[in-house]
Amino acid sequence: MRGHGPESDIVMSSRIRLARNLAEFPFIRRCTPKDRTSISTRVHEAFDMLPLANDGEFIDVAKLGDLDRQFLMERQLISHELNESQGARAVILDPNERYSIMVNEEDHLRLQVIQSGLDLESAWQRMNEIDDQLEGLLTYAYTKKLGYLTACPTNVGTGLRVSVMLHLPALVATKQIDKVFRALNKINVAVRGLFGEGSQFMGDFYQISNQTTLGKTELALVAKVREVVPRLIEYERRAREFLISENRQDLHDNVSRALGILCTAKKISSEETMHYLSKVRMGVNLGLIEDVKIPTVNKLFIHTQPAHLQKLCGRKLSVSDRNIERANYLQSHLSKRPESEKN
């Protein structure tokens, strides 16, 4: 989210996720509480034997409070399902947040690697290394005919989900986004919201990913998504060029008004913040706003989410109080930027 990496003006991040299950236990929905505890213990013991353990940390999610779990979810380090489920569950985190391994989510293991910008190849290489290390110590549920066995039939085979997070405000503004979605569905590419399956589309962010994994190799699935993304980038850039060529002054006014609201609002919701930050981010990338940096905007997308805001304030806040603190936080970063950031 720091705004680095290839094509980072449009591509926020690249993610590789693997679903894996231990052969000696039933799928999660048929596990007993004892089974869940045994799975967590088995994974913890295996992790401690790996080089990953030198940096990574095993966190017992069941012992975390609501705010801490939501905080991890907002950073996309755990899923909504892991946050809301009951019983023994855990997450293994890299301190730099480049990978996380969820334990006892929909599957026994959900491994993910995230890279900034469009960098699926590096993400896959790192994921392959982590998976190989774990598979050397754990026995995965696997058959020669079907491949890796998973709780959801659409993940059977490689268990691989390749996804890219894109910022597409111009396609939304020009009302082309639905047409793009229909085209993607025809080639078995799924479109989801900011927080994955079942989440809302917010701030003009969209995740695209492969829909099925059976019958394809891992590299073929990576290549399929990698092939689609440049076309989406091209569509978004054309839409931005259209908006500027049609009426640069109106577009400039629109993004400047968005920045003005963020700098002066006395209270503001998460949804409003995402909406206006999206406009500001496009304005910065198009050179219409010069004294705001992309890393600042990207940080504000995350830090103004409910759990992050409460963590920054050091206390739990009501919805009304969050809206006030969010406005104050935005103003402190956008209205009073240091001179070094304006150059």
Reduce the DSSP state of residue 283 to 3 states and report it.
helix
pLDDT tier, 119 (very low <50, low <70, confident <90, very high otherwise): very high
pLDDT tier, 343 (very low <50, low <70, confident <90, very high otherwise): very low
Query: 75: burial class by Cβ within 10 Å (0-12, 13-18, 19+)?
Result: middle
Sequence length of the chain is 343
- Whole-structure pTM over 0.85, yes or no? yes
Say what the pLDDT of residue 2 is: 63
Across the chain, what does the average pLDDT equal? 90
- Which has the closest alpha carbon to 110: 87, 93, 86? 93
> Quick check: 255 pLDDT over 80?
yes
> Tokens 């110590």, residue?
137
pLDDT tier, 1 (very low <50, low <70, confident <90, very high otherwise): low
For the segment 210-228, the average pLDDT, to the nearest whole number, is: 87
* Non-local CB neighbours of 293 within 8 Å, separated by 6+ positions: 3, 284, 341
Q: What is the pLDDT of residues 281-299, one digit of tens each?
A: 999 999 999 889 999 999 9
- Which has the closest alpha carbon to 29: 156, 161, 152, 158? 152
> Quick check: 61 pLDDT over 80?
yes
Q: What is the pLDDT of residues 2-56, one digit of tens each?
A: 667 889 999 999 999 999 999 999 999 999 999 999 999 999 999 999 888 788 8
